[in-house]
Structure 1
Amino acid sequence: MKTVHSPLFRKTWSILDQSNTGLAMNPMQSFAYDDTLCRLVANEDDIGIARTWVHDKTIVLGIQDSRLPHVQDGIKFLKEHGYEVIVRNSGGLAVVLDPGVLNISLLFKDGKDMSIDRGYELMVELMKGLLSEFKEDIVDGEIAESYCPGRYDLSVHGQKFAGISQRRIRGGVAVQIYLAVSGSGSDRAELIRKFYDHAVQGVPTKYTYPQIIPEKMASISEITGRKYTVNELTHQLLLTLQSLSEKLDTFQVKNEHWKIYEENYERMLKRNEKLITD
C-alpha cells in the first residue's frame, strides 16, 4: 500500500546500496559520495536518493575533535585498537563505525519547505517506519552523555542507538543517520570516552566535549533483546521506500558523475592530510 500522504513520499526513490561493498572502501569515499549525490539531486524534482553504507572499524572525528590539545595521542590510541581514523567534512563529533553499524543517507533537493528541522524530522519519520515494532518507544532528543550528542539523537528508555546529522551543498541536502544495529553500544561509547581522555589529558579545550557514560548507549539488538542484522534493516528500508514512491529503482553512477565524485574525494583527502598525520 502506497503512503502517498507521507512527507517522505517521492515520485521516485533511487537506492544506492553500499552496505556490503562499503566494507572494502576507504570511509572518506562515503562523504565524497554524499557530496556528489547532493549536487545531482539538486537538479531533480520529486526524487529522493537513499544510500546505505557500512564500513569496517573506523572512528570518524568531527573538526573540533581534530583540534584537541593531544589529538595525536588519541589517534594513536584508536589505531592501537585496530581503528582507522578520519575527519569528516560536516558538523558533529566523534562516532564509531563498524560492521554492526548501518548508515543511511537521504538526499533531497533543497527548497523553501526543506528547513534544517524538516530534514531531521523526515529521517525520524523514516526510522519510526523502519523500526515499527518499537516505534512508540523511540524518543528523539539529546542524550548528553553519549558520543556525538545532538538534538535528534534517537533513544529508547534513555539509551541512544542512533544519531542524525545533516549536510547541505549546492542545492542538495544530505540527512545522515548512524544506526547501532548489533554489538555493544557501551563498548563503542567506552572507546570514544578513552579517546577523549588521551586527546585532552586535562588541558582546557575550546569546546565542551561530551562526558560519556557508556551505559547510555546501546544497539537495537541490545534494546529489543532480538538479534537485528544490517542486511535485515537494509531490506526493510527497501520495502519502506517502495511504499513511499511510485517507482523504486537502483541509482546508477554514470560516467559524467565520476569527475564530481573525484573532486569531492580529493577534498576529503586534503582535509585529512591537514588534520591527521601519522
Structure 2
Amino acid sequence: MTTVLLDEETAGGPAHDVALGPLLLRHGVGEARDILRIYSPEPTAAFSRRDTRRPGYPAAADAVRRFGFAPVVRPQGGSLAAYHQGSVVVDHVHRAEQAAPDPVARFRRFAEMHAELLVWLGAPARIGPVAGEYCPGEYSINAGGMKIVGSAQRVTRDGWLFSTVIQVTGSGRLREVLNGAYRELGYDFEPATVGAVDDVVSGVTVQAVTAAVRAAYGLTGPVVPVPAALQAGSS
C-alpha cells in the first residue's frame, strides 16, 4: 500500500478544499492506493446536502457569512460542521474498485486512532456523542463534556473518502457561528457542547496535533503536491 501526504499549504480556499477530496477519490494521484491530506483551512461552514433542503438554509448561509465563514456544501453526510485555522482536517482517500462494505467499521477504526493520539497529547478523549452536539454521530470524540472531533465519509465505486475534523483551538468562535446557523436550520443544538483540544489541554497547538496525526498514520515520506489538473478543478 502506498500513502501520499499532500501539501497542506495548497491554496484555493474553502470551495477548493471541499471539492478536492472527491476529485482525489475519482482521479487519484499516480498509483497511490491511499491518499492523505492534512491541513488547517480558512474559516469554513460545511453544510451537508440534507442541510440545503431545510427551509432555513439560505438564512443559515447568510448567518455564517456574517461571522466570516464561507458556506460550502460538502459531499459527505451529516449536518453542518464549522472549522478554521485552529482546526486540523484529515481527508483520507482510499481508492479501490470494491470498497469495504462496512462504513461503521471505518468510523470505529478512525475514532479509536484519533482518540488515542489525543490521549497521548494529554486530552481526556472519549468516543461517543454529547447530547446537543453539532453534526451528531455515534463516533464523535468528546472531552470535558464537549465535542472536539467529528467525522464523515463518502463511499463511491472508486473507493471511499473519510474526513475528520479535530478542533484544536478557537472553540468560542466556532460556538458563535454554529449557534447562529443551527438556530436558522431548526436543529436541536447546545452551544456549550462545542469544544477544542486546548479547552482541556493547555498550550496545545495546531502544529502539535498535526505532528501527532502524521505519527499515527506512520507518515515518513516526502510531501507530494496536489496535481495541477486537480488544483484547476477536474470534473
TM-score for both structures, normalised by structure 1:
0.73
1:7 aligned residue: none
Q: For 1:164-179, what aligned pairs fall within 5 Å after superposition? A: 164-179=151-166
For residue 251 of structure 1, the aligned residue among 189, 213, 224 is 224
Unaligned runs of 5+ in 2: none
- Structure 1 residue aligned with 2:4, among 8, 14, 18? 14
Aligned positions of 1:94-243 closer than 5 A = 94-110=80-96, 111=98, 113=100, 115-133=102-120, 137-184=124-171, 186-200=172-186, 209=187, 211-224=188-201, 226-242=202-218
CA contact (8 A) 1:182 1:227 kept: no
Equivalences for 1:52-131 in 2 at 5 Å? 52-110=38-96, 111=98, 113=100, 115-131=102-118
Measured after TM superposition, the shift of residue 221 of structure 1 is 0.6
Whether the aligned pair in 2 keeps the contact of 1:74 and 1:196 (CA below 8 Å) is yes
Does the 8 Å CA contact 2:140/2:150 hold for their aligned counterparts? Answer: yes
1:114-143 CA-to-partner distances (Å, cap 9, x unmatched) read 620222123223313432426894222222
The 3-state SS of whatever aligns with 2:112 is helix
TM-score between the two structures when normalised by the length of structure 2: 0.85
How far, CA to CA, are the matches of 2:206 and 2:121 in structure 1? 17
Distance 1:73 1:31, change over 3 A: closer
SS in 2 for 1:27: helix
CA contact (8 A) 2:123 2:200 kept: no
Matches within 5 A, 1:9-48: 11-18=1-8, 21=9, 24-41=11-28, 47-48=33-34
Describe the SS at the equivalent of 1:248.
coil
CA distance in 2, matches of 1:32, 1:71: 20
Partner of 1:262: 233
Counterpart residue identity of residue 263, structure 1: S
Q: Percent identity?
A: 21
Equivalent pair of 2:111/2:140 in contact (CA under 8 Å): no
Mapped to 2, the partners of 1:259 and 1:163 lie a distance apart of: 26
Q: Residue 124 of structure 2 contacts residue 200 of structure 2 at CA under 8 Å; is this kept in 1? A: no
Aligned residues: 234
Which shifted more, 117-126 or 173-182?
117-126
Counterpart AA for 1:52: I
Distance in 1, matches of 2:136 and 2:104, equals: 16
**CA-based RMSD:** 2.8
Q: One-letter code of the match for 1:117?
A: V
1:41 CA drift (Å): 5.0
Bigger CA radius of gyration: 1
Cα distance between partner residues in 1 of 2:153 and 2:232: 19
Deviations 1:49-84 (A, max 9, x none): 211122222211111222222332222222222222
User: What CA distance in whole angstroms lies between the structure 1 residues aligned with 2:102 and 2:23?
Assistant: 21
- 1:8 maps to none
**TM superposition shift of 1:250:** 2.6
